[in-house]
Amino acid sequence: MSLMFRNLPKSDRWRELEQEARGATTLMEAMRLLEEADRLRRRDEASACWTTPLLRN
């Protein structure tokens, strides 16, 4: 993962999914919520790729 993506702010939905996963009653439910949060993170990273100006050497 590129360093520029590590500091992306988490969306509100991302935070909600993490909280729901912490309170999940089953492992399967927690895994499903975390997978959805991961999909959001990857989508946010991909969109940041197109909106972040390129760094020059």
Banded pLDDT at 2 (limits 50, 70, 90): very low
Tell me the H-state helices in 1-57.
3-6, 12-22, 27-51
How far the first Cα of the chain sits from its last, in Å, is 19
What's at 36, amino acid-wise?
Answer: E
The confidence band for 14, taking pLDDT boundaries of 50, 70 and 90, is confident
Angstrom distance (rounded) from CA 13 to CA 7:
17
DSSP 24: -
Contacts of 28 (CB under 8 A, 6+ apart): none
pLDDT, tens digit, 9 for 90 and up, residues 23-49: 999 999 999 988 998 888 888 777 766
**Total-model pTM:** 0.61
